[in-house]
Amino acid sequence: MGLRNTLLVARRQIGAMREDRYVVFLLALVVSMGVVSVLGARHHAASEAEQRARYQTLVERQWAEQPERHPHRVIHYGFLVFREEAPLAFFDPGVGAYAGTSLFLEGHRQNAASFSDARHSTGMLRFGRLTPATVLGMLLPLFVVAAGFASVGGERERGTLRLLLAQGATPGQIMGGKVLSVGAVALAAALPIGLVTAAFAAVGGEAPTSATRLLALAAGYAAYLAGWVLLTVWVSSRRSSSRAALAQLVAIWVALCVAAPRLGASLAATLHPIPSRAQFTAQVEEAQRGVGDSHNPDDPFFSALRDEYLARYEVASVEELPINWGGVVSREGEEITSRIQEEHQQALLAAHRRQDGIIAWLGLLSPYLAARDLSMAAAGTGPEAVEAFRAQAEAHRYDIIQRLNDLHVHEIKYENDRAQRIARQEWTRFPVFRPNPPTLGRALTDRPQSLAALGLWIAVPLVGLGLGRKRLPRLGVDGSGL
Amino acid sequence: MTVRTVLRNEWRLLMADQALRIVLGLFAVLLVYALANGVVWLRFQERTVEAVESGNVERTSALQQELDAIANGGQPSSPFADPRSPLVLGGPGGSHTAVLEPGSLTALAVGQSDLLPYYYDVNIYTNESSFQQNGEVENPLNLMVGRFDLAFVVVYLLPLLVLALSFNVLSEEREQGTLALTLSQPVSARSVVTAKLAFRALLVVGMVLAMSLLGILVTGGLDSPGRVLLWCATVVTYSLFWFALAAWVNTLRRSSAWNATVLVGAWLVLVVVLPAAINIAAGVLHPLPSRIEMITAQRDASNDAVNRRSELLARYLEDHPEMAEGVVADEPGLGALAWAATDAVNRRLEQVTSEHDAQRAHQIILVRRYRFLSPALLAQDVLIDAAGTGDARFVHFQSQVRAFAEEWREFFVPAVLADEQMSASVLPNVPRFRLADERPGEAARRAAVPLTVLGGLVLLVGIGAGVGLRRVRGAG
């Protein structure tokens, strides 16, 4: 009986919305924008991915086809890696456009990834791109508001609310029915976008990882939109007029979806300032000056190291060592400079993470921030993906540079060092860079605040609806809203 | 009933509405916070610029000391970094950092200044790829979102305040039955609505301009009155557009609720949806050429160049006879050979870059035409350009750095080719970067068309509202 009433109310509401040309028009608009955004973003991502893959292959072939070379020459020749976008980047590009896309790996230094998309576009990009994620995260909530702001208030204004109550429907059943119907309309808008996304993701290959990621995305957006549906019905039931409900809901939407992201970023930047690049490089150089110059034979650190090697091999001069002293200096120098650079890099990243932490906590106030965060995590395009690429590229860099230094130590004689070469077959024995993006589980467990925020976002209006249930018959009848 | 009575009445009515008082107060708080944010960012840039410039001075004086010490019989601190070598003195160790001073209204509009580099280390090895590698160490998440500055408040939030204040200027009077009463007085509907809107416009625009001027006074932006004027004109025109739109919708004789829905819808489409849709359409219709090609071109060129150094040197000397003075072409030094290779790589890079840049400039012209579809895009574009934080000023800066790098090479390369050593006496003559900032008229010239279009829109919608208002009769 109870469920039947709920469904009856829901059917009534859906019927009313179907007759409202405004809602139908908005539904068509949102769905078509969502589908267009999937197509557009997919087109962009596919051409970019194809190019990066092509050039990565080219760079790998050039590496393997190097002629006979001295290992130190190869250290300076270096290697290029390109950051592959996650398969679902077309759905939510995340921070991808604002991070570098290629990284040059060479000896003696950690380069920063360069060529970010944003720096090569116009200022217009700051308005944001219409991606499937923005359609679902920003525009769909507004559609939910438009579809549901009068769901309860409208019945009251027309006097039909009393009629429903008189026919035996309880306030709980009425609210349940309204939530179901507005939710159904939201689903009708979200489903086509989700299906098109899933279809493209399936075509793109890598089905097993994409499937769980798609499910995570679906679950995240479902929870986020469910919160908007509950909030809309709740506000509609509390306000004496549906016009006031609409004004309040639009104000909430502007605060949560438009103002909150910028407020959050500015707050984070003020609380945890980040050094300028000039300052950062100056700090690294300062620290490196403190420990020793591998290019300077009279440097105290390297003199001590030389004495240690001479004692270990029981010889009087570096010329008599069974290994190449030049290679040893290069290897030790690389270790020191890499360690210092990595320490500074980690300190900088810690500052970035503290900033992201502020925004994560603000997610408890603005579910849009939480949903965006989880969306990036599920799509594999969050800051952690960019950082994983950087860390793995650095590990790869250190590995190949030290292999080259080992070749220098063992395969090149100290005497007449520069004239010697390593055979070309050796280059093909080097490891190939295959980045390993962070797993979905890892990305999600790193975001407890955002997960909690979405839970809270559903719980608060749900509790509000539950508590406000008893007052529903009285509200508005005597003209008092809240 | 006179216009003054309407105004006085309006003030009382507005202040009696608690919701409106809260909205106005909140707007004022957001303005203050936005300005504070902008000032924090400007101070950060100023500190960076100061540190970078003192770095220039320190590097020069350290080199001076070392060169003096060597002249007095001392040894260079490292045999690989002998400052007498032009490749060291003009190289990374002796580099000069070229700086773009923050735009005079940066505190009002951060614009692109958090994304685009405002300083470059220039040395003899500076080439096109150096321009790509000067990324800031900023958090990408913050770059993606952008800063909460006055420009953001003006472009996004101000229209909403305007709409909240004016969506029912006429419809409310009709709904409350006061319209007939008002119009029974010797006053037209047009002058009543104009007075009401003028009052609201004074209030909103006054708040924004007062806050802008405060920011300008605090940060010393008054040095460029042209930019200040451009900023103010854009704020006024953009606000007027939304007031005119609200007036026009009010003449359609619908309910206040309908007005509110339509106006919020217009805001959503013009400020949020259209710009985002334009960005995606631009990416599909006018894709920017890939930059990956530039990276690989450099590698190819440098591989090739190393193997053909002598041949390249001969060609270089043929092309640059002014550099050949004192060069022993039969027995070139290692430095000269290495330079010939470096130069060949630079030329190849310049060729690839200029093709890329030309393509890119063409695409950007096409993309920028779409600005005219949304007043928000137009206003944003002019506001950040007026602030000196738009793309154009950074492009201008980069082209000057490019010219400066050329000047730098012309100073050091002859010594490299002749295998000469340099002494402390050349230090005062080493090129120094002097920024020739845009002339004040430049930004105004770029803003002329967008601002005229925006003004034309205001006029068009305003005329529509005026015509509609003439038809308003007391009995509605």
- Per the prediction, chain B carries an average pLDDT of 85
Mean pLDDT of chain A: 85
CA distance A93 to A128: 11
A199 contacts A42 by C-beta, under 8 angstroms: no
Sign of the C-alpha dihedral, residues A271, A272, A277, A280?
positive
**A58: nearest CB among B115, B141, B296:** B296
The H-or-E segment that residue A106 falls in is strand A102-106
- The residues that bridge with B97 in the sheet, in sequence order, are B121
Instruction: Please indicate whether, in this complex, the C-beta atoms of A123 and B97 are within 8 angstroms of each other.
Output: no
Amino acid at the residue B98 = A
| Torsion-angle region of B430 (φ positive above 0: left; ψ -120 to 50: alpha; else: beta) | beta
Give the CA distances from residue B429 to residues A355, B51, B83, B97, in Å, rounded to whole numbers and listed in that order.
Answer: 45, 23, 16, 16
Q: Considering only CA atoms, which of A216, A197, A203, A215 is closest in space to residue A89?
A: A197
Q: Do A41 and B376 touch (CB under 8 A)?
A: no
User: Given B37, B135, B139, which is nearest A274 (Cβ)?
Assistant: B139
Q: Which residues contact B81 (CB under 8 A, 6 or more apart)?
A: A295, B88, B93
Q: Is the pLDDT of residue A76 over 90?
A: no
**Alpha carbon of A140 to those of A32, A189, A191, B171: distances in Å?**
12, 8, 11, 30
Question: Cα(first)–Cα(last) distance of chain A, in Å?
Answer: 32
Provide the pLDDT for residue A477.
Answer: 47
In eight-state DSSP terms, residue A437 is P
Please, what's the b/e burial string for A51-72 (b: 16 or more CB within 10 A of its CB; e: otherwise)? Answer: bbeebbeebbebbeebeebbbb
User: Hey, which residues 42-81 in chain B have their CB within 8 Å of chain A?
Assistant: 44, 48, 51-52, 55, 77-81
Buried b / exposed e along B179-201 (16+ C-beta atoms within 10 A): beeebeeebebbebbbbbbbbbb
Q: Are B121 and B92 in contact (CB under 8 A)?
A: yes
pLDDT on residue A204: 65
pLDDT at residue A479, as a whole number: 41
Instruction: Report d(CA A363, CA A265) in Å as an integer.
Output: 12
pTM: 0.87
Q: What is the pLDDT along chain B (476 residues), one digit of tens a residue?
A: 566 777 788 788 777 777 788 888 989 999 999 999 999 999 999 999 999 999 999 999 999 999 999 888 888 877 777 888 888 899 888 899 999 999 989 999 999 888 888 999 999 988 887 887 656 678 888 888 888 999 999 999 999 999 988 888 888 888 888 888 878 877 788 888 888 899 899 999 999 999 999 999 999 878 888 999 999 999 999 999 999 999 999 998 888 878 888 898 899 889 988 888 888 777 777 777 666 677 677 677 776 766 666 666 666 766 666 555 555 445 566 777 778 878 888 888 888 888 878 887 887 888 788 889 999 999 999 999 999 998 889 989 999 999 999 999 999 988 888 888 888 888 899 999 999 888 878 889 999 999 999 999 999 999 999 998 888 765 44
Rounded to a whole number, what is the distance in Å from the CA of A346 to chain B's nearest CA?
12
CB neighbour class for B413 (10 Å; exposed up to 12, middle 13-18, buried from 19): buried
d(CA A14, CA A10): 6
What is the residue type of A90? F
Q: Kindly list the residues from chain A whose CB atom is less than 8 angstroms away from the CB atom of residue B367.
A: 122, 124
Residue B469: what pLDDT? 86
Entry field: residues in chain A: 482
Mutation site for B-interface testing, chosen from A50, A58, A84, A127 by largest number of B Cβ within 10 Å: A127
For residue A412, give the nearest of A334, A330, A332, A337 by alpha carbon: A330
Measured distance CA(B350)–CA(A173) in Å, rounded: 71
**CA closest to B384 among chain A residues:** A123
Per-residue model confidence (pLDDT) at position A400: 92
Question: Residue B303 has which token pair?
Answer: 């591989």
- CA B425 to chain A, closest CA, distance in angstroms equals 27
How many Cα neighbours within 13 Å face the side chain of A93? 31
Asked whether the beta carbons of residue A55 and residue B295 sit closer than 8 angstroms, the reply is yes
CA gap A457, A451 in Å, rounded: 10
**Distance of residue A262 Cα from the nearest chain B Cα, in angstroms:** 5
Looking at residue B396, its pLDDT comes to 92
DSSP string, B304-338: HHHHTHHHHHHHHHHH-GGG-TT--TTS--HHHHH
- Nearest Cα neighbor of A249 from A174, A172, A143, A373 is A143
pLDDT digits (tens, 9 = 90+) for B107-131: 999 998 888 889 999 999 888 878 8
How many CB atoms lie under 10 A from the CB of residue A304? 11
DSSP bridge pairs for A102: A82, A114
Distance of CA A213 to the CA centre of its chain: 13
How far off is chain A from B186, nearest CA to CA, in Å? Answer: 34
CB atoms within 10 A of CB B318: 9
Tens digits of residue pLDDT in B235-274: 999 999 999 999 999 998 888 878 888 898 899 889 988 8
A contacts of B111 (beta carbons < 8 Å): 123
Q: What is the DSSP letter of A259?
A: I
What is d(CA A161, CA A471) in angstroms, rounded to the nearest whole number?
13
Which residue does chain A place closest to B272, by CA atoms?
A: A127
Of the candidates A26, A37, A157, the residue with the CA atom closest to the CA atom of residue A93 = A37
Within an 8 Å CB–CB cutoff, is residue B202 touching chain A?
no
- Tell me the C-alpha distance between A72 and A104, whole Å: 16
User: Quick one: DSSP state of residue B186?
Assistant: S
Question: How many CB atoms are located within 10 Å of the residue B447 CB?
Answer: 23
Query: What is the DSSP secondary structure assignment for residue B380, as one 8-state letter?
Result: H
Cβ contact B136–A122 (<8 Å): no
pLDDT in tens, B195-220: 889 989 999 999 999 999 999 999 98
**Cα–Cα distance between B264 and A26 in angstroms, integer?**
13
CA angle B381, B115, A282 (to 5 degrees): 150
- Tell me which of A18-27, A330-339, B154-163 is least confident: A18-27
How buried is B130 (Cβ within 10 angstroms: 0-12 exposed, 13-18 middle, 19+ buried)? middle
Alpha helices by DSSP H, B138-183: 140-145, 150-152, 158-166, 171-176, 178-183
Rounded to an integer, what distance in angstroms lies between the CA atom of residue B265 and that of residue B263?
A: 5
pLDDT at residue B380 in the model: 93
Structure confidence by residue, pLDDT tens digits, A369-409 = 999 999 999 999 999 998 999 999 999 999 999 999 999 98
